[in-house]
Amino acid sequence: MAFLPHLESVVTQVDGAIACSVMGFDGIAVETFQAPQSADLAQQIELNSAWVEYGNALSQLKTGADLLKAGTIAEVSINTEKLVTLMRMVTPEYFVVLALKPEGNYGKGRYVLRITAPKLKAELT
């Protein structure tokens, strides 16, 4: 279960990345890589509290949307003026979450999560 190199790779590839984490739907982070230069910002916006709240919403959404004809949820993004958050399903129990500054590279973030999710899944199984 070597998650950290994958998470570090996400953060270093995406401009404006604050931190990337593998989380369970119980709200507990399995592993996190934080951009060293963004530690103050993460503390200031209470990143962990936001992630627990968002993960909880994602969990409810996943359950509620399972029966929709539009298909199962693959990716959710929640954005405020201070924080952009991208989440992508890894397995039914785990997801990967990436926090960006609002001016960060959103498109690159989506792309990198999409290619990283299968690698994280391989580590989980």
Q: Catalog residues that contact a second copy under the rule CB under 8 A.
A: 44-47, 49-50, 53-54, 56-57, 60-61, 64-65, 68-83, 106-107, 110
Measured from the Cβ of residue 25, the count of other Cβ atoms closer than 10 Å reads: 18
Shortest Cβ distance from residue 43 to a second copy (Å)?
10
For a second copy, the closer of residues 110 and 119 by Cβ is 110
For a second copy, the closer of residues 3 and 14 by Cβ is 14
- Are β-strands 29-34 and 84-89 bridged in parallel, bridged antiparallel, or unpaired? unpaired
Structure tokens at 54: 């968002």
Shortest Cβ distance from residue 56 to a second copy (Å)?
7
